[in-house]
Amino acid sequence: MLDVRPGPWLRLIAVGAAAAAALAVVSGAMSLHTAHRALAALAVPPLAALVAAAWVAHRRLLAPSVAALGLFLAAALAVGRPLHIGFAALALAAALVATAETLRGEPVAAAPWRDYLTLTKPRIMSLLLLTGACGMIVGAEGFPSAWLFVVTMAGLALACGGASALNHVLDRDIDRHMRRTDRRPVAADRVAPTRALEFGLALSALSFVLLASLVNVLTALLALTGNLFYVFVYTRWLKRSTPQNIVIGGAAGAIPPLVGWAAATGNVTVPALLLFAIVFFWTPPHFWALALLIRRDYEAAGVPMLPVVRGERETTKQIVLYSGVLVAVTASPFLWGTLGVPYLVAALVLGAVFFVLALGLRRKPTPRRAALLFHFSLLYLALLFAAMAVDAAL
């Protein structure tokens, strides 16, 4: 592994880190105080991503990348301008060494672009972007500027895609045991784990830089929080350790409405948290319906999903309970005064259908009924958030 050359995504991270460090040094030397602080902050994400990739896959990059990040942080804490600029210059030198090191080693064959697209899980991303976009419209009480909307959605897409790529890397052992996932690019050995790792880190770092520089820091932090929660809390820990994995882990999928809201308003208030709660309580019945369909796959992979651990009867009971809570929670934006009657009517009609399908699955837990609830749940969330956007825009 030490002789393998890093791929283009890691080289991109390294170049971006060195460029950001150089701009920070120049802006500091020119006493451009506000610009200097902004540029310095934007150098940290690519440097951190470089350290992470070096630690996992390219140990020869570890010393210069850790030195670059450590010296950069030392510069931020240094007292006195000469010391501050000196540490920053040393950080730049270390970043340049790390960048040069990414050019060494034996090359690895590149994977088709379609496999890299698959790593981002486009179908899941489309629903996350929809909830983020509608959250942005609700927060803005109408359509935000086209520029702000496009930049926010691009940043959110990068965060979602980066988290999904890292999920492919961490779950490759599980994916190989499941018919639904055994043909994924990393599990099927079409994309090397190191390349998928570099790709995911590059997208995640670029997301933070884009959102922090062109939208606001809160939006960037929220997108990063969702990314890290999905990768480390859900994928790495909860998914493999508890049948409540999707209940707690569902918080990651509920972050996009907060991202959209923060982009439009610069804050996160109670109405934004209500949108978060809707997606949070929607996730368990949605995912458990799928888990009922592929329970044998989860058994083979050793994943403690609720149907595997507690059985079909308990799972359908929990689906009904969470569906009832979901319908009640969807009324909260109206009760709080954020949205009006058109949204409430849509929420109650859609919720009634959702609850009836959940009851039907409880009475007769067949694969057909589980599939019907699963597929309707996707349409349900899309239509519900579309109703929010329409109501807010009226």
Structural domain ending residue among the three candidates 101, 126, 143? 101
pLDDT for res 3: 62
At residue 81, does pLDDT exceed 70?
A: yes
Same domain, 224 and 256: yes
Q: Is residue 309 part of a domain?
A: yes
Cα separation values, 331 from 99, 274, 356, 390, Å: 53, 10, 17, 16
Q: Is residue 178 part of a domain?
A: yes
Most confident of 29-33, 68-72, 297-301, 360-364: 360-364
- How many structural domains does the chain have? 2
Give the residue, 168 or 41, on which the prediction is more confident: 168
At residue 2, does pLDDT exceed 70?
A: no
Structural domain ending residue among the three candidates 75, 101, 127? 101
Give pLDDT tens digits for 147-163.
Answer: 999 999 999 999 999 99
Q: Is residue 330 part of a domain?
A: yes
* CA separation for the pair 46, 40 (Å, rounded): 11
* CA separation for the pair 295, 301 (Å, rounded): 10
Same domain, 283 and 222: yes
Q: Among 309, 166, 194, which Cα is nearest to 240's? A: 309
Say how many CA atoms lie within 13 Å of 291 toward its Cβ: 30
Q: Is residue 1 part of a domain?
A: no
Tell me which residue range forms the domain holding 80: 8-101
Structural domain ending residue among the three candidates 68, 101, 134? 101
Range in 1-15, 29-43, 58-72, 360-374 with the lowest mean pLDDT: 29-43
Same domain, 79 and 139: no
Instruction: Report the mean per-residue pLDDT for the chain.
Output: 93
Give pLDDT tens digits for 276-310.
Answer: 999 999 999 999 999 999 999 999 889 999 999 99
At residue 315, does pLDDT exceed 90?
A: yes
Q: Which residue has the tokens 């954020």?
A: 338
Q: Is residue 2 part of a domain?
A: no
Q: Is residue 3 part of a domain?
A: no
Same domain, 74 and 117: no
Query: For residue 253, what pLDDT band results from cuts at 50, 70 and 90?
Result: very high
pTM of the model as a whole: 0.93
Contacts for 184 with CB less than 8 Å, ≥ 6 apart: 118, 168, 172, 175
At residue 1, does pLDDT exceed 50?
A: no
Same domain, 237 and 361: yes
DSSP line for 290-347: HHHHTHHHHHHHT---HHHHT-HHHHHHHHHHHHHHHHHHHTHHHHHTSS-HHHHHHH
Same domain, 43 and 162: no
Same domain, 18 and 130: no
SS3 138: helix
Give the residue, 246 or 104, on which the prediction is more confident: 246
Same domain, 250 and 279: yes
CATH number at residue 162: 1.10.600
Same domain, 252 and 372: yes
Same domain, 345 and 238: yes
Q: Is residue 107 part of a domain?
A: no
Same domain, 59 and 149: no
241, 185 contact by CB (below 8 A): no
pLDDT for res 24: 81
Query: For residue 57, what pLDDT band results from cuts at 50, 70 and 90?
Result: confident
Give pLDDT tens digits for 101-144.
Answer: 998 877 777 788 899 999 999 999 999 999 999 999 999 999 99
Share of the chain above pLDDT 90, in %: 80
Share of the chain above pLDDT 70, in %: 98
Same domain, 40 and 157: no
Q: Is residue 108 part of a domain?
A: no
